[in-house]
Amino acid sequence: MGQSQSVPTPEPGDLIEITRVAYQHWAVYVGDGYVVHVTLPPDGAASSSSRSGPAKKAMVRKQKLQEVVGHHKWRINNILDKKYKPRPPQIIVEEALGQVGKMMEYSVISKNCEHFATQLRYGKAESWQVINAEVAAGFAPLYVFPAIALWFPVSIVAAAVLISRR
């Protein structure tokens, strides 16, 4: 199972960052060892075609943190606490649990797991993975601190940004 590295026990409403091979997965801790996160639906209904192109779908799920983490590393990362005031934990948890089982639109660039998690915690959907990928791809102003850019592998997101801009 994945282990945190000297990370304290998460509190309800904390954002959990899980380091995967080429990206970071994000979830919201809701207590008792559980997180709520966005993932592929179990029935394979992740995409469908439309005139405007493929529509991606994701499902909001509640799972044990260790089940989601698997063998990967994780940490508590309330990434935007210095930029935005976090919402009260009980509101974050209530809203997260209210989303469980729902299907939602999914886009690596505009509606990913980090957007979902930051929307719940701060009331603002932001993804530093996307911002950093855009900077790396040359599509955004260079206002990202270099130290922050090192925290997020951007290869997959950068590729998605480049493909979506065609």
Catalogue the active-site residues.
25, 37, 113
Q: What is the pLDDT of residue 135?
A: 46
Bridging pattern class, strands 103-105 and 24-31:
unpaired
Is the per-residue pLDDT at 21 higher than 60?
A: yes
- Alpha-carbon distances of 94 from 9, 16, 41, 91, 101, rounded to whole Å: 20, 17, 22, 5, 14
Measure the CA–CA gap between 3 and 42, rounded to whole angstroms: 26
Q: Taking residues 131-147, report their average pLDDT.
A: 46
Is the per-residue pLDDT at 152 higher than 80?
A: no
- Note the pTM of the prediction, 2 decimals: 0.72
Which tokens is 89 given? 């934990």
| Under 8 Å between Cβ of 28 and 119 | no
Is the per-residue pLDDT at 51 higher than 70?
A: no
Query: pLDDT confidence of 107, banded at 50, 70, 90?
Result: confident
Is the per-residue pLDDT at 13 higher than 90?
A: yes
For 1-126, which CATH superfamily applies?
A: endopeptidase domain like (from Nostoc punctiforme) (3.90.1720.10)
Q: Taking residues 18-37, report their average pLDDT.
A: 95
Is the per-residue pLDDT at 133 higher than 70?
A: no
| Under 8 Å between Cβ of 118 and 126 | yes
Q: What is the pLDDT of residue 109?
A: 81
- Where in the chain do CATH 3.90.1720.10 domains reside? 1-126
Q: What is the pLDDT of residue 140?
A: 44
What does the DSSP 8-state code read for residue 107?
B
Q: What is the pLDDT of residue 166?
A: 45
Query: pLDDT confidence of 138, banded at 50, 70, 90?
Result: low
Measure the CA–CA gap between 7 and 51, rounded to whole angstroms: 46
- Alpha-carbon distances of 1 from 62, 69, 127, rounded to whole Å: 18, 7, 26
pLDDT tens, position by position, 62-94: 999 999 999 999 999 999 999 999 999 999 999
